[in-house]
């Protein structure tokens, strides 16, 4: 393994972060505060938590640690702002989003560096994260002049029928750290353009990224109270937000365990809930596949973002005829990946997000070994040179069977399993036999096999001859089975997540007309 241990790794970083934050066009100290009713404020709790660079351990900011009191203030501001915002014409709301996208575009590089510093992904991927946010913001701004309803003929004379979208009210948006700019935009932008107001609880690992995004919305001219952000932990901020009686809609991206707890609470409270809870995504490689192409897709999908994408490929379901060659090549490629601080040149893979992630991933490697999976490469923390300062884990490949825990449970790290199969039918059965159904890929040159996969794979996203990552913002994003609860984000489908349909009948007959009764 080549390790990027350039001397600049740490010394360069010490001076870099504050400057870089300064260039984001906001007062840096504000990025550690809550944003409530248009003001940057600290929690009355007086408590704090640190945001650290997972590649170096450097503290990037000391943030206010909020609780139910702050959630209360944020919800009150959002409730108060709702009536005016929903009555603001949607094209006017959208203009603010367009301006926000323009600002993001101008600050793309600085935001991308902040992403790399705060969550660890390499800079090319940091730029991708910000670009996805820009794409979503422009796309949803466009919805300011669409949000199409429906007009249809009605059954009775002198009567008119249509349906249109209403905002829901205050949306609670709870987001993960792995796409700290993009995923908040997936939730905030559709919610806002539809006329909802928002209370946003970002992951505690990436508060500065979240705050940098909110500062952009502020600068773009979003009125006070329309977006509010509360920094802190799930139990202290997320839970009171989910339970708040004046927050009728929750959108959550995170683990299946937490998502199911939220679902139970929302069911009791009768709330609208959108869930995105991860994956155990597979790349199917058939015996007729272009192996060079498949190999590039596998390495990118399994080890990009250090495997910390909901869409990461953690199972490589491989036809027996190509299994040996594929295994050898994948082991080679994994071993060649260069780990390091993501702002350095020539680094392929950054750290994982924090110590707990490192422990969880290592725990799963031990489980795999105990289960009898064959470890082909990796399987341990990388500690050479400066890597010891961060949370680096070596790219890991197992050969495993479909029922092992490492083939069933989401590890969220750079670990992938080769699972041999004998046929397309078996490959699809193995793919479908997990609790998740977010993203699947198949490499084949046979159009019949490709269409069989399109018909039979149970998944929210399917790629033919490309890896499992790379969803675009104008297509629905989400999955089947334990990945979600039927809702989608991104695409026009996101509009359904954040709005209510209202059917309107206008009777201009001037007399009582009884639907279904006056049929003669």
The CA distance from 179 to 44, in Å, is 29
Among 132, 205, 236, 489, binds ligand UN1 (CB under 6 A): 132
* 469: contact with ligand UN1 by CB under 6 A: yes
Secondary structure of 257-273 in HEC code, one letter for each residue: HHHHHHHHHHHHHCCEE
Among 43, 67, 197, 311, binds ligand UN1 (CB under 6 A): 311
Where would I find the beta strands (DSSP E) of 302-373? 313-319
Nearest C-alpha neighbor of 182 from the set 221, 142, 213? 213
The span of 43-51, 64-72, 207-215, 467-475 binding ligand UN1 (CB under 6 A) equals 467-475
Query: Which alpha helices (DSSP H) does 32-122 contain, by range?
Result: 68-87, 90-106, 108-119
Show the binding pattern over residues 383-412: x = contacts ligand UN1 (CB under 6 A), - = does not: ------------------------------
Which one, 311 or 440, has the nearer CB to ligand UN1? 311
Question: Tokens 């793919």 — which residue?
Answer: 431
* 302: contact with ligand UN1 by CB under 6 A: no
Among 12, 38, 57, 470, binds ligand UN1 (CB under 6 A): 470
Which one, 65 or 121, has the nearer CB to ligand UN1? 121
Residues annotated as catalytic (active site), given as ranges: 276, 310
The span of 2-10, 73-81, 303-311, 363-371 binding ligand UN1 (CB under 6 A) equals 303-311
> Could you tell me what percentage of the chain is helix, strand and coil, using 3-state DSSP and rounding each to the nearest 5?
45, 20, 35
Among 179, 393, 412, 436, binds ligand UN1 (CB under 6 A): 179
Among 471, 487, 489, 491, binds ligand UN1 (CB under 6 A): 471
Which one, 256 or 327, has the nearer CB to ligand UN1? 256
* 310: contact with ligand UN1 by CB under 6 A: yes
Which one, 310 or 442, has the nearer CB to ligand UN1? 310
In the complex, minimum distance from the CB of residue 316 to ligand UN1, in angstroms, rounded to a whole number: 17
Provide DSSP, 234-251.
Answer: IIIIIHHHHH-TT--EEE
Which one, 66 or 440, has the nearer CB to ligand UN1? 440
Written as six digits, the tokens of 228 are 């509010």
Query: Which alpha helices (DSSP H) does 424-465 contain, by range?
Result: 424-432, 447-456
* Segment (H or E) for 152: strand 150-152
In the complex, minimum distance from the CB of residue 177 to ligand UN1, in angstroms, rounded to a whole number: 10
| Pairing of the two strands 272-276 and 249-253 | parallel
The full length of the chain comes to: 520
Written as six digits, the tokens of 298 are 């596998």
Among 9, 32, 178, 440, binds ligand UN1 (CB under 6 A): 178
In the complex, minimum distance from the CB of residue 469 to ligand UN1, in angstroms, rounded to a whole number: 3
In the complex, minimum distance from the CB of residue 136 to ligand UN1, in angstroms, rounded to a whole number: 10
The span of 203-211, 309-317, 369-377, 383-391 binding ligand UN1 (CB under 6 A) equals 309-317
Size of the site for ligand UN1 (CB under 6 A): 9
In the complex, minimum distance from the CB of residue 304 to ligand UN1, in angstroms, rounded to a whole number: 8
Which one, 136 or 453, has the nearer CB to ligand UN1? 136
In the complex, minimum distance from the CB of residue 236 to ligand UN1, in angstroms, rounded to a whole number: 23
On whether the CB atoms of residues 253 and 238 are closer than 8 A, the answer is: no
Among 65, 121, 187, 309, binds ligand UN1 (CB under 6 A): 309
Which one, 23 or 435, has the nearer CB to ligand UN1? 435
The span of 304-312, 316-324, 352-360, 411-419 binding ligand UN1 (CB under 6 A) equals 304-312
Rounded to 10 deg, the angle between the 123-142 and 90-106 helix axes is: 160
In the complex, minimum distance from the CB of residue 75 to ligand UN1, in angstroms, rounded to a whole number: 26
The CA distance from 345 to 248, in Å, is 46
Q: Would you state the torsion angle of the CA atoms of residues 150, 151, 153, 158, taken in this order, to the nearest 10 degrees?
A: 140
Which one, 38 or 470, has the nearer CB to ligand UN1? 470
* Segment (H or E) for 362: helix 355-371
Task: Report how far apart the first and last C-alpha atoms of the chain are (Å, whole number).
Answer: 81
* Segment (H or E) for 211: helix 207-220
Where would I find the beta strands (DSSP E) of 369-481? 374-377, 396-399, 415-421, 436-437, 439-443, 461-464, 480-481
- Binding positions for ligand UN1, rule: CB under 6 A: 132, 178-179, 309-311, 469-471
């Amino acid at each position: 393994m080549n390790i990027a241990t350039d001397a600049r790794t740490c010394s360069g970083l010490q001076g870099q972060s504050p400057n870089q934050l300064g260039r984001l066009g906001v007062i840096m100290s504000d990025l550690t505060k809550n944003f409530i009713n248009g003001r940057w404020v600290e929690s009355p709790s007086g408590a704090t938590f640190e945001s650290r660079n997972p590649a170096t351990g450097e503290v990037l900011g000391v943030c206010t640690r909020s609780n139910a009191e702050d959630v209360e203030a944020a919800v009150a501001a959002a409730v108060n702002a709702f009536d005016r915002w929903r009555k603001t014409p949607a094209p006017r709301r959208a203009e603010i989003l367009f301006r926000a996208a323009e600002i993001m575009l101008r600050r793309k590089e600085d935001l991308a560096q902040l992403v790399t510093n705060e969550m660890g992904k390499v800079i090319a991927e940091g730029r991708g994260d910000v670009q996805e946010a820009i794409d979503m913001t422009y796309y949803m701004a466009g919805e300011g002049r669409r949000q199409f309803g429906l007009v249809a003929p009605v059954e009775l004379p002198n009567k008119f029928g249509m349906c249109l979208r209403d905002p829901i009210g205050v949306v609670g948006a709870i987001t993960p750290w792995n796409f700290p700019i993009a995923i908040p935009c997936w939730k905030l932008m559709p919610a806002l353009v539809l006329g909802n107001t928002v209370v946003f609880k970002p992951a505690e690992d990436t508060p500065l990224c979240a705050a940098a995004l909110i500062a952009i919305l502020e600068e773009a001219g979003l009125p006070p109270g329309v977006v509010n952000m509360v920094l802190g932990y799930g139990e202290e901020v997320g839970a009171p937000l989910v339970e708040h009686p004046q927050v009728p809609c929750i959108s959550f991206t995170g683990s299946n365990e937490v998502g199911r707890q939220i679902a139970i609470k929302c069911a009791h409270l009768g709330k609208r809930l959108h869930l995105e809870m991860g994956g155990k995504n597979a790349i199917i490689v058939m015996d007729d596949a272009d192996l060079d192409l498949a190999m590039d897709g596998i390495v990118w999908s399994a080890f990009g973002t250090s495997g910390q994408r909901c869409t990461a490929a953690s199972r490589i379901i491989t036809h027996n005829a190509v299994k040996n060659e594929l295994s050898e090549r994948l082991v080679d490629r994994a071993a060649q990946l260069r780990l390091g601080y993501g702002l350095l040149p020539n680094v392929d893979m950054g750290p994982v997000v924090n110590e707990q992630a490192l422990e969880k991933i290592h725990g799963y490697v031990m489980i795999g070994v105990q289960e009898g999976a064959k470890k082909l490469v990796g399987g341990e923390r990388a500690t050479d040179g400066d890597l010891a300062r961060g949370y680096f884990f070596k790219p890991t490949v197992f050969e495993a069977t479909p029922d092992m825990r490492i083939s069933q449970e989401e590890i969220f790290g750079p670990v992938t399993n080769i699972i041999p199969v004998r046929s397309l039918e078996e490959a699809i059965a193995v793919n479908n036999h997990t609790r998740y159904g977010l993203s699947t890929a198949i490499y084949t040159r046979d159009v019949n096999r490709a269409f069989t996969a399109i018909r039979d794979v149970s998944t929210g996203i399917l790629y033919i001859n490309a890896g499992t990552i790379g969803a675009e913002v104008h297509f629905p994003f989400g999955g089947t089975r334990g990945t979600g609860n039927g809702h989608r984000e991104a695409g026009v489908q996101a509009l359904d997540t954040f709005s209510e349909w209202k059917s309107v009948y206008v009777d201009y007959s001037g007399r009582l007309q009884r639907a279904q009764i006056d049929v003669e």
